[in-house]
């Protein structure tokens, strides 16, 4: 069964600090991995997508990495801001098999304190 | 820039009542999706519509029906609501189901069933 595990479940950091969120998956065959940010009371918004050949990709203060061999991804947030407080969701998509249903992780809840 | 619009935003139902959740997108996307999000769980796909005129079951379709009214609109119906269907429901759309483009989410409908 395809699974996506995220850690930690929740994280509290001080404004200005860096943090790293983890995503491990067993989805096969792998197509792509996407990180979403979900603000409280809102729908998820895409931050970045990683395909098989990509190791790292940045979007402003967000940097995602992918190790397809170990089936792990991380999302690094640099110089955190209060607006980074949100849930971060890792979504992995299988390549084929007649099914394009993505597998969602449960998310990491990040709280940034002033 | 409306994107994906869901109505209503909040609803309380009694067990056994019926209800239709509405979703409309203005991005000319071909594919649309309905998810539910429960505390401590990842988003789970209820139904999706790969293109106008087609609908398919997702991971948790029992107790729900959908209608792809036209390219813009995709509705979700609960025929006889049960307390287990208390959840936050998200509608999403994407350019095509097979593409690497992200899904765009609405802000959700918070549904409570007493």
**Contact between B42 and A89 using a beta-carbon 8 Å cutoff:** yes
Residues B5-41: pLDDT tens digits?
A: 999 999 999 999 999 999 999 999 999 999 999 988 8
Quick one: which H or E segment has residue A28? none
Provide the number of CB pairs (under 8 Å) joining chain A to chain B: 43
In terms of pLDDT, which residue wins out, B22 or B96?
B22
Average pLDDT, integer, range A74-99: 89
Task: Indicate the residue of A44, A100, A103 with minimum beta-carbon distance to B97.
Answer: A100
Question: Beta A103-104 vs A86-94: how paired, if at all?
Answer: antiparallel
Can you tell me the distance from the alpha carbon of A30 to that of B51, in angstroms, rounded to the nearest whole number? 24
Taking CB atoms and an 8 Å cutoff, what residues of chain A touch B102?
A: 34, 36, 46, 49
Residue pair A36/A81 in contact (Cβ under 8 Å)? The answer is no
pLDDT band of residue B2 (cuts 50, 70, 90) is confident
Residues B51-94: pLDDT tens digits?
A: 998 999 998 999 999 999 899 999 999 999 999 999 999 999 99
């Amino acid at each position: 069964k395809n699974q996506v595990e995220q850690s930690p479940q929740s994280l509290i950091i001080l404004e200005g600090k860096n943090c790293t969120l983890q995503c491990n998956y067993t989805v096969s065959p792998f197509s792509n991995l996407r990180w979403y940010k979900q603000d409280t009371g809102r729908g998820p918004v895409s931050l970045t997508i990683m395909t098989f050949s990509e190791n790292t990709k940045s979007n402003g203060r967000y940097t995602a990495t992918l190790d397809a061999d170990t089936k792990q991804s991380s999302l690094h947030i640099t110089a955190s801001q209060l607006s980074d407080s949100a849930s971060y969701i890792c979504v992995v998509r299988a390549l084929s098999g007649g099914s394009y249903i993505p597998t969602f992780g449960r998310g990491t809840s990040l709280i940034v304190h002033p | 820039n409306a994107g994906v619009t869901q109505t209503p935003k909040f609803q309380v139902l009694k067990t056994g009542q019926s209800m239709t959740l509405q979703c409309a997108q203005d991005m000319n996307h071909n594919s649309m999706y309905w998810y539910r999000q429960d505390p401590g769980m990842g988003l789970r796909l209820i139904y999706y519509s790969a293109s106008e005129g087609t609908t398919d079951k997702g991971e948790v379709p029992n107790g729900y029906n959908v209608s792809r009214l036209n390219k813009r609109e995709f509705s979700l119906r609960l025929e006889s609501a049960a307390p287990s269907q208390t959840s936050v429901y998200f509608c999403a759309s994407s350019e095509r189901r097979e593409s690497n483009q992200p899904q765009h989410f609405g802000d959700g409908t918070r549904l409570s069933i007493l």
